[in-house]
Amino acid sequence: MIDIKLLRNNPEIVRENIKKKFQEHKLPLVDEVISLDQNFRDVKVKCDMLRSRRNTISKEIGALMAKGKKEEAVEAKKQVEAMANELAELEIQEDVLAKKINEIMLVIPNIIDDSVPIGKDDSQNVEVEKIGEPFVPEFEIPYHVDIMEKLNGIDIDSARKTSGNGFYYLKGDIARLHSAILSYARDFMIERGFTYYIPPFMIRSNVVTGVMSFSEMENMMYKIEGEDLYLIGTSEHSMIGKFIDTILTEDQLPQNLTSYSPCFRKEVGAHGIEERGVYRIHQFEKQEMVVICKPEESMQWFKVLYQNTVDFFRSMDIPVRVLECCSGDLADLKVKSVDVEAWSPRQKKYFEVGSCSNLGDAQARRLGIRIKNKELGNYYAHTLNNTVVAPPRMLIAFLENNINADGTINIPQPLRMYMGGKSKIE
C-alpha cells in the first residue's frame, strides 16, 4: 500500500507507475481515491468542528444552570443533542469513506524502484548473471519422478488416493535427502547470522491482507472453515505478521530471521497442478529468510538475501542464474524482485527455485510496523523476503545435477553429515 499523501500530492507519479506495470484498467482508481479522500477530509473537518462546538456548549450548560438561566440551559442542551445526532451521521459517513479508500488503496500497486526493467510479463525478465558452468552429461537423464521411483523414494499413486493430485509420499533415502537439505539450509543461514524460527502455520485474515494482495490470497490461501484462520503459503506470512502493530527502536534493527515451515497452496491459475511431478504441488516445505530494516538499508539487504540463495546452491555445485523480474511480472506489493533459477541438465534450461523480494514499506504500512525516531517522528520499516530452499524443486535440481549413468546419486560434502555419512544414494 502506498502513502495516500503521495497519491494526493503527486498523482502523476502513481499514474505513471500503474502504466509501467501495464495495469491501465486501474488508472481511474487514482481520481476515485482523490475524490473520496477530499470528501473524507471535508467530513472529518465537520466532525472536528462539531465536537469542538459541542464540548464548548456542554461546558456552558453548567454555568448557565448555576446562574439560574434554566431556559437558556435547556436550549443549549437541545443544541448539544442536535449536534450529537449530526455527528453520529457524519461519523458513519467518515467510516464508510475510510473503508472505501482503504479497499482501493489495497489494489493500487506499490511504486517500483527506478532500476526495475519495464516489461509486460515474465518473458521480458532480464538475466542479471549466471554462476557455475551448466553441464549436460552424455547419458539421458530421466524425469525426476522416474529417478525417485527407481530409488524407491516416492509414491504418488497412494497420495492421489488419500489426498488427490498435487501430493506425494516421500520415503527412504529420498525422504532423508529432503530433510537433509532443510537441515543444511537451517544451519547455513544460522552461520550467516540469521535467527532461526519455526512459526505458526496458520494466521488470521488481518495478517493475510497485510502481507499479500487480494488476488494472491484468492489464488493461494486455504481458509479454515468456520474460523478466522488461513493455512500459510510460506513462513514469510507468519514472520512478517509477528511484528504487526509493533514499534521497533532503531537499535533493534535489522531483524534478520530464517524460518522453516510447511507451505500450503491452492495453485489456482494458468500453471495448475502437475498430474505427475513435484514442481507445482499443494503442500511442500521451505526454509525462508526475512528481513525488517531501515528504508535506507533495504536495497543492500536485497542483494545479501539473493546472494545467500546463490551461495547455498553453489555450495552443492548446482549452476544457477539470477533473473530480474520486469515491471509487469512484479506483484503489486513489490518494489523490486529477482528469481534465482537452477540449471536443469535434462531440460537444458534454468528453472525457478526461489524468489527474492523487496516490498519497501508496503507490508509495514498495512500491518503498522514502525520504527521509533524522536527527532523525525515514527516511520515505517522496510520488509524483504527470500527463499533459501524449497526441497521439492530443489530435489529436481539436485537429482538431475548429481545423477550418474548407473542411476546412483552423488551426495555432495555439505549434505553427508545429515545423511549418515553416505556419499551416494544407491
CATH class of 4-105: mainly alpha
DSSP state of 403: B
Backbone angles phi, psi at 410, to 5 degrees: -75, 140
Between 18-22, 51-55, 247-251, the lowest mean confidence (pLDDT) is in 51-55
- Spatial distance between the Cα atoms of 409 and 294, rounded to a whole number of angstroms: 44
**Residue 154 three-state SS:** strand
- Spatial distance between the Cα atoms of 303 and 129, rounded to a whole number of angstroms: 13
Q: What's at 88, amino acid-wise?
A: A
What dihedral angle (degrees, nearest 10) is formed by the CA atoms of 214, 215, 218, 223? -30
Q: What mean pLDDT comes out for the span 358-387?
A: 95
Quick check: 90 and 287 in contact, CB under 8 A?
no
Looking at the domain that runs over 122-425, which CATH code has it been given?
3.30.930.10
The pLDDT value recorded for residue 356 is 97
Among 123, 120, 126, 121, residue whose Cα is nearest residue 19: 120
pLDDT higher than threshold 80 for residue 274: no
The pLDDT value recorded for residue 72 is 81
Q: Report CA 49 to chain centroid distance, whole Å.
A: 41
The pLDDT value recorded for residue 269 is 59
pLDDT digits (tens, 9 = 90+) for 42-52: 999 999 988 88
pLDDT digits (tens, 9 = 90+) for 88-135: 999 999 999 999 999 999 999 999 999 999 999 999 999 999 999 999
- Spatial distance between the Cα atoms of 183 and 177, rounded to a whole number of angstroms: 10
Report, in this order, helix, strand and coil percent for the chain, each rounded to 5. Answer: 50, 20, 30
Higher pLDDT, 333 or 216: 333
Grid coordinates belonging to 342: 537452477
- pLDDT band for position 271 (cuts 50, 70, 90): low
Q: Domain residues of the chain, as ranges?
A: 4-105, 122-425
Compute the C-alpha angle 18/19/22, nearest 5°: 95
**Those residues with Cβ within 8 angstroms of residue 176's Cβ, 6 or more apart along the chain or in another chain:** 419, 420
For the sheet with 336-344, list strands across it.
126-131, 320-324, 336-344, 349-358, 382-389, 283-293, 255-264, 195-197
Do the domains at 4-105 and 122-425 have one common CATH topology? no
